[in-house]
């Protein structure tokens, strides 16, 4: 339902991003991930409008300051206009409301309304803990939560929540695959890359895919866009997966002051 490989757009904007998204679609990317907070939905929309291919799956996210029922609907209408889509494929709660100021149930009710009204096809969550995921599933049914988008990379394999998602049947979308570039300098990742005539970045993406996660790497360079896309063809063996499992050091890199109490 949701393509397992896509392009992330965090920290990208302007004509550069429009050109990159257009190049990605030409390469065969079928999934573009953006968010209201990225302030680049309109730039993504310009690229989408340049292509007649309507099969590109588009994900956006509702910012945590917009989680009140009507704010969700209003902000999603704005997102739809910026993205130049009749219906957005997927909308996520970008971050849970700090201190449960807006109950997750209220926001989920708004997302269901957006789905009923044709604003979005599917909804899900991002940066949700096990407790929040359980609350969400209890309210709307776990089968209606398409994904939980969370930080997952070789140095932060995030087993508690990825295991919980697997048990619930909720897909994991794994962000920050390259750990802000740290995978490039790791000896284990370098050795596996050399073994497969690949790059450490490709190994990190292939590792996410091998674990069944949805991978959405981002880049500012077209050649890296192509290299990331080609990582889908890299098949890691059990020795590779074991070696990567052993370099997990619980190194969370994204932890803003409004984060939930992590598992």
Is 175 an annotated catalytic residue?
A: no
In a domain, 54, yes or no: yes
Q: Look up residue 86 and give its DSSP letter.
A: S
**What confidence score (pLDDT) does residue 53 get?**
65
Q: Are strands 88-93 and 120-126 parallel, antiparallel or unpaired?
A: parallel
**What confidence score (pLDDT) does residue 55 get?**
86
Mean pLDDT estimate for the chain? 97
Cβ count near 16 (within 10 Å): 12
- For the segment 188-240, what is each residue's pLDDT rounded down to a tens digit? 999 999 999 999 999 999 999 999 999 999 999 999 999 999 999 999 999 99
Please determine, for residue 121, whether its predicted confidence score (pLDDT) is greater than 90.
yes
Measured distance CA(142)–CA(69) in Å, rounded: 20
- Is the CA virtual torsion 248, 251, 253, 255 positive or negative? positive
Q: Which domain holds residue 119?
A: 7-178+211-218
CATH of residue 90: 3.20.20.100
* Given the residues 29, 38, 175, 213, the one annotated as active site: 38
In a domain, 240, yes or no: no
120: β partners: 88
Tokens representing 227 are 């290299």
Q: Band of the pLDDT at 105, cuts 50, 70, 90? A: very high
**What confidence score (pLDDT) does residue 169 get?**
97
In a domain, 35, yes or no: yes
Q: Which is nearest to 95 in space by CA: 87, 86, 104?
A: 104
In a domain, 197, yes or no: no
In a domain, 193, yes or no: no
Percent above pLDDT 90 for the chain = 98
Angle (CA) 125-32-30 rounded to 5° is: 115
Task: Please compute Rg for the chain using Cα positions.
Answer: 18
In a domain, 242, yes or no: no
Has 153 been labeled as part of a binding site?
no
pTM of the model: 0.97
**What confidence score (pLDDT) does residue 101 get?**
97
Unique residue bearing structure tokens 């073994």: 195
Asked whether 251 and 179 are in contact (CB, 8 A), the reply is: yes
Cβ count near 57 (within 10 Å): 18
In a domain, 14, yes or no: yes
- For the segment 36-88, what is each residue's pLDDT rounded down to a tens digit? 999 999 999 999 999 976 689 999 999 999 999 999 999 999 999 999 999 99
In a domain, 92, yes or no: yes
Q: Look up residue 163 and give its DSSP letter.
A: H
Domain count of the chain?
1
3-class DSSP assignment, residue 157: coil
Percent above pLDDT 70 for the chain = 99
């Amino acid at each position: 339902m949701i393509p397992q490989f896509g392009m992330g757009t965090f920290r990208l904007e302007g004509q550069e991003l429009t050109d990159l998204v257009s190049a990605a679609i030409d390469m065969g990317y079928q999934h573009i991930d953006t968010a209201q907070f990225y302030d680049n939905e309109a730039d993504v929309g310009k690229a989408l409008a340049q292509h007649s291919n309507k099969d590109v799956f588009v994900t956006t996210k509702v910012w945590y300051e917009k989680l009140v029922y009507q704010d969700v609907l209003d902000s999603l209408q704005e997102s739809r206009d910026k993205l130049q889509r009749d219906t957005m494929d997927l909308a996520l709660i970008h971050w849970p409301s700090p201190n449960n100021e807006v109950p997750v149930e209220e926001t989920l009710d708004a997302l269901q309304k957006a789905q009923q009204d044709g604003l979005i096809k599917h909804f899900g969550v991002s940066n949700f803990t096990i407790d929040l995921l359980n609350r969400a599933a209890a309210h709307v049914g776990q089968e209606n939560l398409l994904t939980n988008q969370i930080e997952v990379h070789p140095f932060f394999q995030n087993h508690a929540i990825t295991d919980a998602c697997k048990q619930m049947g909720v897909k994991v979308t794994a962000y920050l695959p390259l750990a802000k570039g740290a995978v490039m300098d790791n000896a284990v990742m370098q050795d596996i890359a050399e073994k497969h005539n690949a790059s450490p970045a490709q190994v990190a993406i292939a590792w996410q895919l091998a674990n069944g996660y949805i991978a959405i790497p981002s880049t500012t360079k077209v050649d890296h866009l192509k290299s990331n896309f080609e990582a889908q063809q890299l098949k890691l063996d059990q020795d590779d997966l074991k070696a990567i499992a052993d370099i997990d050091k619980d190194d969370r890199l994204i932890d803003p002051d409004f984060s939930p109490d992590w598992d």
